[in-house]
Structure 1
Amino acid sequence: MRRIASALLALSALPVLASPTAAEFARRQPIVLGAGPAALHRLDLPADVYRFSARRDVSDLQVFNAAGEAVPWAISPAHGQPRPARDYPLPAFPLPSLAKANRSAGIVLDSRGLPASNRAYLALELEQSAYRGRVALSASDDGERWQPLESRELLQLSGSALRLDLHGDGSRYLRLDWLDKPFKLRRASLHVGPGAAEPLLQSGDWIAAKPGAAGEYLFDLGMRAPLRRLELALPNPNTSARGVWYKRERPDQPWQNAFSSELTQLGQASTLLLENLDGDSDRYWRLVVDTRQGGLGAGLPRLRASWPRQQLTFAARGQPPFMLAYGHPSFFITDQANTLLNSPEPAQPAALGPALAGGVRPAPPAQAPMPKKSPWLWGSLLLAVGLLGWISYRLIKEPAPSDTQ
C-alpha cells in the first residue's frame, strides 16, 4: 500500500493542462481604465464577442492583467430606468388581405416594438366632431388569427378622445371594425402604464439582403447574439406586402419557420419593427415575399438585429494594463464570479481599445476540435502511463509477505 500511495503522490505532481494565454484567443482588446484606482471595473461587452465566440453564452472569454494572469469576472445585463406611463402613437392602415367578404373594412393598428405589459387602453381621435356607432376591437400576433377583445358603442359629442379598454392585451396588432357607421380616424395612441426597468438593447449594423429566387431575400447577421428585436428597412416607400420569415443557425441546416409579418410602409420612409424575439441566436435569416402585387419593388431590403446589452465586471487584481480576450474552441468558464455583482464596492467605468487578432479561430458550433498540447505535455502524459505500468508489473511480480506466528 505504501508503494501505491507513493506512486499516486508522484502522479499528482505531474502538470495539468494550463489555461490558454491571451494570445490563444481569437480576439483581444486592451481595457482602458478610468481615472483613479478601483477594486472593480465595468465595461460594455462589444458586438465582436458574439462574432468570434464559439459558445452561445459567450463563456469562452477571459480577462488578464499585465502579468498574463486571469482575474475574476462576471457578466450581467444592463438595465435602464423604470418606465414611466406614456402614450405611444400607433400607425394606422387598412390591410386588404384582412378584409372579408360581405363585411365592412376596418383599420389595423401596428403596436409592434412597444411594451407588451401594462397596456391600459386605446385612445382614438376622430375627424368628426360628433360620432355614434358600434365598433369591434380585435387583437392578433400574426395578422391572420384574431381574438375579439371588445364590442361596444362609441359616442362622441365634444371632440374628446374615445377610449377602448385593452384588458391587458399585449398583441402586436389591433383591429377596429365598424359594425354599422364608419368613422374617419385622425390619430390613435396606446396608453401604457408604468413598468419596471427593462434591459437596454445593443444594435448591430444594417445588413443588406442577398437576392435569391423571386421574392426571396437572404440575410447573414454575422453573429449569434441572443436576439431580442429585428428591424427591416424597405427599399421603397408606399409598399404593402406579406412576408414569411425563416431562420437557421448554420448554413447546412434546413430552414425553420420563424414568423409572418405585414410589410407595410406608407408615406415617408421609415424602418419596420418586425418582431420581439426571445433570445433566438440564429445567424441566418430568410424572407419570402408574395410577389403577386409587386412584392417589395426594385432594390433590396436591409435588416438590423438588436440584443440585450451585457456588461462585464472584473476585479482589478494585479497590475494594469488589463486585456479582454474572447473566442476559444475548447476553453470556457462554467462558474462566473457573480459575487462581484453584489459587492458594496462601486465599479468604475472602463472602455475597450482597438481589437487585436489572436492565435486561434473559434471552431464551428457543430463540434469543437480537441485542444492542442505541447510536446512537453504529451511527454508528461506518456511518462505517467509508463510509470503506472511499471508499478503494476512490480506489484504483480513481488511475492506477498508470508504470515509469521
Structure 2
Amino acid sequence: MGKLSVAVVGLCAALSASAQETPAEFTRQVPLSVSGNGPWYRLELPLAVQLNAAQADLSDMRVFNAAGEPQAYALSRQSSQRTESRTVTEVKWFPLYAADTRETLPGVVMKTTTEGTLVEIKPSTAAKPGKQVLRGWVLDASAIKAPLQQLSLDWSLEQEGFQRFSIEASDDLQHWQAWDDGQVARLSFADERVEQHDVSLPGQSARYLRLVWQGQAAPLLTSAKLVSATSSSLPMPLMWSQPLAGTRLQAGEYSWQLPTGLGVERLRIEMKQPNTLAPVTLAGRNDARQTWQSLSNGLLYRLSQNGQDVVQDQLQLPGQVVRELKMQVDERGGGLGAEAPALRFAVRATQLVFLARGEPPFTLAFGNASVKAANLPLTTLIPDSSAEHLKTLGQATLAGEVAVTSPAAVAAVESGPSWKKLGLWAVLLLGVAALGAMAYSLLRKPPAAR
C-alpha cells in the first residue's frame, strides 16, 4: 500500500509540473529584443497589445525565455496607483497692452518683491493715449510650488463668445516657454447660457503664466485660478487609437463598440462640418446586460472665427473600464449629422517589467481568457523600485508584429488546458479509487492472514 501511495503522489506531481503554462497556450506570441543593463527589463505595451489581450486587466500577459519557462513580471499602471493632492489657488493678474490686436507685445517692465511676487507691470516706453488695446494677462503663480494642472478663468459678463489665447510660462519674467493654446467660451444657446472656463495645463511648474489673445482684444478678467497637484509618480502617457466607426441609434444618439474592455481616459470626436456646436452627454457600459452609466458631458464645437477654426473636440473620462459608449447630442445646436462621427479613444500606457531568467530570446505571450493573473507587485519584483532606479532598467521592445492566429488554432489552444485539467482529475480519482480498493481488501482478510 505504501508503494502505491508513493506512485500515485509522484504521478500527480509529474502531471502538475506538465500542466505549467507554455507559450503554445496563448494565441499571440511576439519576440522581444532587450538592451541595456539587466536582469530587469521594462517594456511599454503598445496599444495593439492591449487591444488584442483576452482579458481587460491584462491578466493574460506572460513572458517566456528560449526554453519556454515563464518569467517573473509586474505590470506598472502608475496612473491608477499614484497618490495625488490637488490644490486650487486664486492668483493675481496683471494686464498687457499693445497698439492693436495684431502687434507684437511691446517691451514691459515687471516689478517683483524679493520673494518673487509680481507687483506691477508697465510698458517700457510711454503709452500713447487712446491707442492701447488689452492684449492679455500675466498671472502670478510664484506662491505655487507644485506642477500646474489646470487654469480656470472668469471674465466680464458683457463679453460673450469664444476666447482663444496662447499660454506661455516663465520663471524670471524674461524668458518665456510656449506651453499650449487655450480656449474658453461663454455662449447664449437656446435660452440657456453655456460656459467653458477650464483649460488643461501640461503638469509643469512655473512662477508666471502669460496669456496672449490672438487676433482679438482680451476680455476683462474677474477671476483666475490655478489647480496644482503633487503626486508620488508621473502618469504614463496616453496612447490614441485609430478612428473608430460608430452607429446612429436615433436622432442625436450614437454608439461605438470598443475592441475590448478598456479604461478610456479621453475621447476625440470628429467634426467634419464647420460651424458645428454640440452640447453632449456620454455614457458607457462593459456589458450589454448592464445599464448605462454616465461618464462625462461637455460642449463640442468647430467654429470659424477671425478666419480660422476654433475647435474643442475632446471629452475627458474617469478611466472606468468600458466596452461600449453612447453619446446623446442636444440637437438644438444643429447636431452632428445623420452619420455617426468617427471617434478616437485614449488609454493610459502600461509598462511590463520582467526579471530575465534563463537564455534569450524572450517572448511576450498573451491571448488566453482562462488563465489567472500571475503578475507580482512591482515592489516585490524589484526591492528598490524607486523612480530613479526604474529609469536605469534595461529596455525591451517588440521585435515583431502582433500576429493573430486563425480561429481554428485559437479554439484548439483554448481547449488544451481543459484536457489537461480533466486528465489530472481522472488520475487523482483513479489513485483514490486504487487506495480505497487496497484498504477494502486488507480489511476483508481474516486476522491470521493479516
Instruction: Name the TM-score, length of structure 1 as normaliser.
Output: 0.68
Query: Relative to total residues, which structure has the larger helix share, 1 or 2?
Result: 2
In 1, the alpha carbon distance for the partners of 2:285 and 2:69 equals 38
Q: Deviations over 1:264-302 (max 9, x none)?
A: 332216352212x23211121122223345212465422
Which of 396, 400, 422 is equivalent to 1:350? 396
- Is the contact between residue 120 and residue 192 of structure 1 (CA under 8 Å) also seen in structure 2? no
Find the counterpart in structure 1 of residue 46 from structure 2.
Answer: 46
The residue type paired with residue 277 of structure 2 is: S
Find the counterpart in structure 1 of residue 341 from structure 2.
Answer: 301
In 1, the alpha carbon distance for the partners of 2:61 and 2:423 equals 29
In 1, the alpha carbon distance for the partners of 2:13 and 2:335 equals 70
In 1, the alpha carbon distance for the partners of 2:269 and 2:359 equals 46
User: Given the alignment of the two structures, is residue 290 of structure 1 paired with residue 330 of structure 2, yes or no?
Assistant: yes
Q: Residue 89 and residue 379 in structure 1: after superposition, are their counterparts in 2 closer, same or farther (change >3 A)?
A: closer
In 2, the alpha carbon distance for the partners of 1:76 and 1:279 equals 16
Find the counterpart in structure 1 of residue 258 from structure 2.
Answer: 221
The residue type paired with residue 76 of structure 1 is: S
Displacement, 1:262? 2.1
Q: Residue 76 and residue 387 in structure 1: after superposition, are their counterparts in 2 closer, same or farther (change >3 A)?
A: closer
Find the counterpart in structure 2 of residue 143 from structure 1.
Answer: none
Q: CA RMSD in A?
A: 4.3
In 2, the alpha carbon distance for the partners of 1:94 and 1:308 equals 32
User: Given the alignment of the two structures, is residue 74 of structure 1 paired with residue 74 of structure 2, yes or no?
Assistant: yes
Map 1:235-384 to 2 at 5 A: 235-251=272-288, 253-267=290-304, 268=309, 270-275=311-316, 277-297=317-337, 300-336=340-376, 338=378, 339-343=380-384, 346-352=392-398, 353-358=400-405, 359-360=409-410, 371-374=417-420, 378-379=422-423, 381-384=425-428
Secondary structure at 2:313 match in 1: strand
Displacement, 1:220? 2.1
Find the counterpart in structure 2 of residue 156 from structure 1.
Answer: none
Displacement, 1:244? 2.5
- Is the contact between residue 25 and residue 417 of structure 2 (CA under 8 Å) also seen in structure 1? no
In 1, the alpha carbon distance for the partners of 2:258 and 2:201 equals 24
| Between 345-354 and 61-70, the greater mean CA deviation after superposition | 345-354
The residue type paired with residue 273 of structure 1 is: Q
- Is the contact between residue 225 and residue 281 of structure 1 (CA under 8 Å) also seen in structure 2? yes
Secondary structure at 1:95 match in 2: strand
Displacement, 1:212? 2.8
User: Given the alignment of the two structures, is residue 60 of structure 1 paired with residue 107 of structure 2, yes or no?
Assistant: no
Displacement, 1:382? 2.7
Displacement, 1:325? 0.7
Find the counterpart in structure 2 of residue 186 from structure 1.
Answer: none
- Is the contact between residue 264 and residue 347 of structure 2 (CA under 8 Å) also seen in structure 1? yes
Q: Residue 60 and residue 76 in structure 1: after superposition, are their counterparts in 2 closer, same or farther (change >3 A)?
A: same
The residue type paired with residue 68 of structure 1 is: G
Q: Deviations over 1:331-383 (max 9, x none)?
A: 132442623344458311221121223442699xxxx9894215xx7555434
- Is the contact between residue 53 and residue 367 of structure 2 (CA under 8 Å) also seen in structure 1? yes
Find the counterpart in structure 2 of residue 202 from structure 1.
Answer: 239
- Is the contact between residue 241 and residue 264 of structure 1 (CA under 8 Å) also seen in structure 2? yes
Find the counterpart in structure 2 of residue 177 from structure 1.
Answer: none
In 2, the alpha carbon distance for the partners of 1:321 and 1:18 equals 23
Find the counterpart in structure 2 of residue 185 from structure 1.
Answer: none
- Is the contact between residue 5 and residue 435 of structure 2 (CA under 8 Å) also seen in structure 1? no
Gaps of 5+ in 2: 83-145, 150-168, 170-178
Find the counterpart in structure 2 of residue 173 from structure 1.
Answer: none
Instruction: Indicate the percent of aligned positions where both proteins have the same amino acid.
Output: 28
In 2, the alpha carbon distance for the partners of 1:9 and 1:126 equals 79
Q: Residue 207 and residue 370 in structure 1: after superposition, are their counterparts in 2 closer, same or farther (change >3 A)?
A: same
In 2, the alpha carbon distance for the partners of 1:119 and 1:285 equals 37
In 2, the alpha carbon distance for the partners of 1:233 and 1:356 equals 30
Q: Residue 10 and residue 371 in structure 1: after superposition, are their counterparts in 2 closer, same or farther (change >3 A)?
A: closer
- Is the contact between residue 233 and residue 271 of structure 1 (CA under 8 Å) also seen in structure 2? no
In 2, the alpha carbon distance for the partners of 1:306 and 1:296 equals 21
